[in-house]
Amino acid sequence: MKQYLLSVHVVEGAPTPSDEEMGVMFRETGRINNDMQAAGAWVFAGGLTSPDSATVVRVENGATSMSDGPFVETKEHIAGFWVIKCADLDQALAWAERCATACGPVEVRPFDELSQA
């Protein structure tokens, strides 16, 4: 089975969900997680803290530098992700549709065949 990354995107400046809306998102996401596990699609999932908590580590010419903040300056950030295994892209897109309904835009990307050896 091929593995796919479903990454949840949040857009900077978009309205922040209310506590009640967040509660619904967490409940729906939990339900999807349970369904993925029951279907055998679940590999791993997790939420991420805000982009301002990131540290970027670079090594150039043998020298290591570290800087605060996300790697790229963008208005859209990854807020969380799932790694799932599916028979094909259509199956991954069906899971992504459920995830997007629960918590916003989801990008679907297959893992490189070489990384699944």
Q: Indicate the domain borders of the chain.
A: 2-116
Which pLDDT belongs to residue 117?
55
Task: Tell me the pLDDT of the chain (117 aa) as tens digits.
Answer: 899 988 888 887 888 889 999 899 999 999 999 999 999 999 999 988 888 888 889 999 999 999 887 777 777 788 889 999 999 999 999 999 999 999 889 999 999 877 655
CATH class of 2-116: alpha beta
Would strands 76-86 and 2-11 be described as parallel, antiparallel, or unpaired? antiparallel
Which pLDDT belongs to residue 115?
62
> If you ran DSSP here, which 8-state letter would residue 70 be given?
-
Asked if residue 12 lies in contact with residue 52, where contact means CB atoms within 8 angstroms, the answer is: no
User: Token digits for 35?
Assistant: 């369904």
The pTM (predicted TM-score) of the whole model is: 0.81
Cα–Cα distance for residue pair 29/79, rounded to 1 Å: 13
